[in-house]
Amino acid sequence: MLFHRRFEHRYPRIVRGQGAYLYDDEGRVYLDAVGGAGVAILGHGLERLARAAAESMRHVSYLHGTQFTTPELEAYGERLVALAPDNLSHVLLMGSGSDAVETALKLAYQYQAGKTGTRRKRKVIATQPGYHGATGLALAVTGKPRDRLLFQGLLPEQCFIPAPDAYRGPGSAEACAMALERKILEEGPEECLAFIVEPVIGASMGIGVPPPGYLQEVRAICDRHDVLLICDEVMCGFGRCGEWFASSLFGVKPDILIQGKGMAAGLMPLSAVYASRAIVEGIHRDGGNFAHGFTFTNHALAAAIGLRVLEHVERHDLLSHVRRQGQVLRERLSELTAFDWVDDVRGLGLFCGFELVADKATRRPFPRSAKVAERVLQRAMARGGNFYFSIGYLPDGTGDSILVMPPYNVTDEELEHLVDILRGTLEDLDPEVRTLRGPAA
C-alpha cells in the first residue's frame, strides 16, 4: 500500500482539474491557490501541452545524458541561458529542487578545489530561516533547525546567519549583509566555499523580500572573500516574482543559480542549475568533467515540455500578467488586515504571503501550540481553498504565515474567489483565535 507523509490524514482524491480548480471523486471543488507548492504555474487541465508532451513521448522513451542529446534539449538550454543574467553561460537540467541544490554545491566544491588546489574551501553559509531541500547537502544548508534535528547524525555541519526580516528584523541592507561578512571572517575566508540564499525567501518564512541593496552588498562581500554566491530561485524564480530571474529584480548576478518547481508546469519534475562561464571553464581546465549526475539529468522529455511551457509563458506575456495580478492580489489581501490578527501582506508578483500575529502592535506571534496557521489551512480547505503555510520560523520556534501563489494565468474571477475563501476562513476562525493569543511577554 502507498504511504503518505501524514500517516493519519485522509487526502482528497483528485480526479480532474481545470484552470485554478481541482475536482475530487466525491464531487468537491478546490480552488488551488498555490499550485501545490508553486508548481502548477499554468493551472490544471492543460490539453494542448499534454498533447504536445504525448507527441514527444511517442518518439523516444529515454536517453541517458552521458550518451545522447536531442535538438529540443539543446534548444531549451540555449533559451534558458539567453534569458539568464549574462554571466551565466551554461545550464544543467535536474529533476527536483533538492537535486539541483546538491548539484550546485558539488559544482561549487569541485570548481574551488580545482582552482585552489586544496580541499579547504568546504563551508557553506546559508540563512536562517531558509529552505533548500530535503536531501543530504540541501537539508544541511536548510535554515530550519527542527527539520535538520532528526537527521543531524547524517548531515555535514554548515553555517547560518539570520535572514533579512523586514517585518521584525534590524531592517537595513548593510546590517543584514554584515552578518555574512562577520560569519566569513569568523569561519576563515579560506575555508568558506559559498553563500546560498533565496533572493526572495519562500516557504520557510511566508515570503521574505530583502531590503533594497541587500543582495548587492552580499555580492560585494562574496567577491571580497572569494566566496561563491548561489541564488536558490527554486520557489521565487522562473517568473513567480514577475521576472524570469528573481535575482535580476535586485540587479545581482550570482555565480550559480537554481530554478525548479514550475519549469515544466508540474507535468514533469524539472529543475535547472545555471553556472558562470568561469566555473564551467575552470572545471573543464582542472578536471575535465563534472563528476556528478543522475539517471534523469538532462531528461529529454522534461526539456521538451519545459521548452513548451517557456514558449507558452512568453507567447501569452504571462510575466506582465503575473506583475499585474500580483498587485491586485496584494491590494485585496491587504483588506484582510482588518482582522486584528492578520498583518504584513508582502511579496512580489504572484509570490505573496501574510503574517498571523497575536498582537499587531508588538508583532507578537501566537504560541506555536495554538497551531493557528494549521487551523487556517484546514478551515480554508473545508471551504474549498488550497493554501500553503510557513510555521516555526522565529528563533523561539514560533511564527505563523500563509502563502498564496496562484497560477501565472490566474483570472480576475479566480482571484476574487480566492480572497473570498480566505475572508470566510478568517471570519470562521476569528472567535476561537481570540482565545489562543497566550500571555504577552
Ligand X SMILES: Cc1ncc(COP(=O)(O)O)c(C=O)c1O
| Residues at the site binding ligand X, with contacts judged by CB under 6 A | 37, 96-98, 101, 131-134, 198, 202-203, 232, 234-235, 260
C-alpha 284, offset from chain centre: 30
Element (H, E) at 345: strand 342-348
DSSP state of 335: G
Minimum CB separation of residue 58 from ligand X in Å reads 28
Question: Closest approach of Cβ 28 to ligand X, in Å?
Answer: 26
Report the residue number, 156 or 188, with the smaller CB distance to ligand X: 156
Cα 363 to Cα 341: distance, rounded to the nearest angstrom: 10
As measured in angstroms, the least distance from the Cβ of 344 to ligand X is 20
Nearer to ligand X, 56 or 204 (CB): 204
Minimum CB separation of residue 125 from ligand X in Å reads 16
Beta-strand runs (E) in 371-410: 385-386, 388-391, 400-404
CA 298 centroid distance within chain: 21
**Among 275, 270, 248, 273, CA closest to 260:** 270
Minimum CB distance to ligand X smaller for 103 or for 276: 103
Q: How far is CA 158 from CA 123, 182, 185, in A?
A: 6, 15, 15
Q: Closest separation between CB of residue 9 and ligand X, Å?
A: 19
Number of H helices, E strands in the chain: 14, 16
Measured from the CB atom, is 199 or 385 closer to ligand X? 199
| Rounded distance between C-alpha atoms, residue 59 and residue 307, angstroms | 16
129: cis peptide before it, omega within 30°?
A: yes
Smallest gap from residue 439 Cβ to ligand X (A)? 34
C-alpha cell at 50: 499534454
Q: Which is nearer to ligand X, 309 or 342 (CB)?
A: 309
Alpha helices by DSSP H, listed for 234-299, are 246-249, 277-286
Q: Which lies closer to ligand X via its Cβ, residue 52 or residue 193?
A: 193
